[in-house]
Chains A and B, each alone.
Chain A
Amino acid sequence: MSENKKQSDEAIMLKIREDLLTPMTKFPLSYKIWIGSLLTIIAVAIWGYTIQLQNGLGETGMRDYVSWGVYIASFVFFVATALVGMLISAVVGLVGQKWITPISRIAEMIALAFAMVAGIAIVADMGRPDRILNLLFHGRFQSPIIWDVTVVNLYIFISILLLFLPLLPDLGIIRNHMKKDLPKWQWNMYNILSLGWVGTPGQYKILHSTLRVLLILIVPVAMALHTVTSWLSALTLRAGWDSTIFGPYYVTGAFVAGAGAVLVAMYFIRKAYRLEDYITDFHFDKMGKLMVLVGLVYLYFNINEFLVPGYKMKAADADHIFTLFSLNGEYGVMFWLTQTFGLLLPITLGLFKPFRKPFPMMLIGLAIVIGAWFKRVIIIVPTMIHAYLPIQNVPESFHHYTPTGLEITVTLGIVAMAVLIISILVKLFPVISLWEIAEEKGVDIHKDL
């Protein structure tokens, strides 16, 4: 190797380290306020949850007919968003799209955070969280809940590995170069986590082959995860849930939600860490196009999901369709707002290049994420309002569902927890893979960087 090349490699690596590792050592006031407010929300939510624990789920707006509410809707939303890890890393990555490199770790972090809090949402919804171990002791293999619990955990494990494996070379770099910039415990942690990475070709070989296997494995597991989640609804006999396309409907919906979440995260991380050189307008443009693509697929499933029963108008389906489609229906306004701002507008605007700039993309992403949450409410709640038999001899509150303040607080707390996990992850680890960027820039990475 020529001396020239070596020097230029060193220079490139120095800049990369400077750009990507420096934010890890800085704790500006804004970050502290951010973490502080997230912790406050979580604390309030925990307080709310203890009230719920004490007095029972009667503290929520759920009752015997609408017995699932925003907790389950949020659970579905979290699982949906978590699927982005698979979309970005596996589907896009495996087909050889190189532009994904600076985004894939952000996507993995989002995936891990949301998959982890999905479980919390389920626990919040349980009437007897103290008996959660019954799932282990008395688990019933025929129940979709058992499948869901299993597959959520598998997905979390894979997500951890998919986040951790590509981190190894970066951890090696941190270990080599950051000893004096970091507190002792933190450096020790990186030292241990780096598993003695020195960048030998042998290590890279193992890394690449393992990554490849995991990227393939995550596809069926992620599909199973969200398909099984959709089956929580689709395996019942209720109008609005009793659908054969619920699996793909959920999976494609998840891609949209995930794309939105990545757009938002990209924008704010880039801004906070000044990563304009790494996450460029080009990446927003590409992500925008990807969003339009998955959005169109989701739109296609939406049309199927609503047009087919709407054409036939079977009695129970007709009630459901009316509730959603008519502005006089109980969920008509929410439905059209959600579909417009969460799907139709993002697709339409995303077709035009000026809207695929960072700021508009962030706004669109935000609309998609909020819309995605409301869409889950629309999937879960209105169906339960229509029982097959008349709802009689119960108080007025049983006929409708309005989440209580406590319920919303707890839900926000869980969202805050997901955001907190992401915020901590992006502070603890480089948000962009150093060695992959270096490799793209032609640096010889088969050595101890």
Chain B
Amino acid sequence: MSKKITPEATSRRNFLKKFGISVGGATAVSGLGLLSSCVSDDEEKVPMLTTDGKVINGDKSKLKLNLNEMQIRSREGLSGKKFVMVIDLAKCKNARKCMSACQGAHHLKPEQHHINVLQTENAEGTGFYYQPKPCMHCDNPPCTKVCPVDATFKRKDGIVLIDNERCIGCRFCIAACPYSARVFNWSEPKYYEGDANAVYDMELNVPQKKGTVSKCLFSADRLRIGKLPYCVSACPNGTYWFGDANEDAVTNGTSKETVRLSSLLSDNGAYTLLPELGTKPSVYYLPPKDRMFEYKEGELNYLGEEEPKGHHS
């Protein structure tokens, strides 16, 4: 309605961003002559971004190969990494920059939350606080257990991804997740017209697809290029730490300070959410002690349209 981001611009940007990285590989394959015969018909040129940041005109047909290549790469994950997030509840003031950055990056509707800032309290009378809740990227994930088609799976770097090119929309994973971390595209997703020609990036889960599940991806596309997730870098309050458990280091999204994960966790008495369920989350919480900000009742809540109705208005 009022502030619709031009889909063209968005999709073009994503398209360049995503495809650029793997142009090199595609060229190498066609260089081997494997495809030179079959791509000749489709001479349409489209702009692509090379690894060193130059825009070139490439064969559109090569992009189709890239989808397959990217699917393989995305299922593989980053070697030797084990990504973890630490959320310092004392720092969260419900600014919701994480939520908007996330929804923007993943083309989500206002009611679709890959990360959701909850207002919660541990037991009655113990005081409310703000609790950002992404996907826990469990090491014993109940969601990937039940998927009938390997559409959701855990990568070797610990990230639980969803392949919306394969998802059949049975929503068993939504039923299985105790953290309510998964969302479904009940109708045509946001920007579906603008995203129509974009090639699917599993690590960004864009374009979103009607009838498939979507979830927090730890911004796997950003991690691949050594950047912090969208939510982590958007936070103005230093709430998020993100890093690699194998390096025993996490970096603060706001101050960019890097500290030892083990010390951060043990010094603050960190905990995980619903540990009794045995899901072994990769997301840790630091207790909301000495909160930096007061809890205000009835603050910002859902501002989206009342119903995710109407496929396109």
Contact = CB atoms under 8 A, between A and B. Distances in A.
Indicate whether A and B are direct neighbours in the complex (CB within 8 Å): yes
Nearest to B133: A389
Given A57-B184, A127-B167, A135-B148, A390 B120 contact: yes
Given A138-B149, A144-B146, A392-B118, A56 B311 contact: yes
A55 B187 contact: yes
Contact of B149 (A57, A139, A389, A398): A139
A384 interface: yes
B117 A393 contact: yes
B175 A384 contact: yes
Interface stretch (B28-36, B251-259, B300-308): B300-308
Given A64-B174, A145-B146, A388-B274, A58 B168 contact: no
Contact of B178 (A56, A142, A143, A238): A238
B54 interface: no
Contacts of A235: 145-146, 176
Nearest to A56: B187
A237 B111 contact: no
A7 interface: no
Interface in B184-211: 184-188, 209-211
Contacts of B175: 67-68, 233, 236, 238, 384
Interface string A49-75: 000000111110011110110000000
A134 interface: yes
A390 B171 contact: no
A387 to B, nearest CB: 4
A132 interface: yes
Contacts of A238: 175, 178
Contacts of A236: 142, 146, 175-176, 178
Given A145-B172, A393-B302, A395-B111, A135 B308 contact: no
A160 interface: no
Contact of B168 (A126, A233, A390): A126
Contacts of B3: none
Given A126-B170, A139-B148, A395 B179 contact: no
Contacts of A393: 99, 111, 113, 116-118, 301-302
A277 interface: no
Interface residues of B, number: 56
B149 A134 contact: yes
A55 B307 CA distance: 14
A447 interface: no
Q: Identify the interface centre among A58, A63, A142, A384: most chain B CB within 10 Å of its CB.
A: A58
A65 B306 CA distance: 16
B168 A128 contact: yes
B170 A127 contact: yes
B185 A127 contact: yes
Contacts of B210: 56, 127
A391 B308 CA distance: 16
B118 A128 contact: no
Contact of B180 (A64, A135, A140, A395): A64
Given A392-B119, A396-B306, A232 B172 contact: yes
B225 interface: no
Interface string A262-296: 00000000000000000000000000000000000
A394 interface: yes
Contact of B179 (A128, A129, A139, A388): A388
Contacts of B167: 127-128, 131
A129 B169 CA distance: 8
Given A390-B120, A395-B302, A143 B146 contact: yes
A448 to B, nearest CB: 50
A17 to B, nearest CB: 49
Contacts of B142: 236-237
Interface string A13-28: 0000000000000000
B172 A135 contact: no
Contacts of A144: 146, 172
Nearest to B123: A315
B186 A58 contact: yes
Contacts of B311: 55-56, 58
A134 to B, nearest CB: 4
A129 B170 CA distance: 9
B149 A140 contact: yes
Contacts of A68: 171, 175
Contacts of A97: none
Contacts of B273: 389
Nearest to A54: B311
Interface string B281-313: 000000000000000000001101111110100
Interface in B98-140: 99, 111-113, 116-120, 133
A139 B166 CA distance: 11
A167 B279 CA distance: 52
B186 A132 contact: no
Nearest to B302: A393
Contacts of B186: 56-58, 62-63
A397 interface: yes
Given A388-B274, A392-B302, 12 more contacts: A64-B182, A127-B210, A131-B149, A131-B166, A138-B151, A140-B149, A143-B172, A236-B146, A388-B178, A389-B133, A395-B306, A395-B308
List the 10 shortest-distance A-B pairs measured between CB atoms, nearest first. Answer: A127-B169, A127-B211, A58-B186, A58-B187, A145-B148, A143-B148, A56-B187, A138-B149, A128-B169, A67-B174
10 contacts: A56-B185, A56-B188, A57-B186, A57-B187, A62-B186, A126-B170, A235-B145, A389-B133, A393-B116, A395-B307
Interface of A: 55-59, 62-65, 67-68, 122, 125-129, 131-132, 134-135, 138-140, 142-146, 149, 232-233, 235-238, 384, 387-398
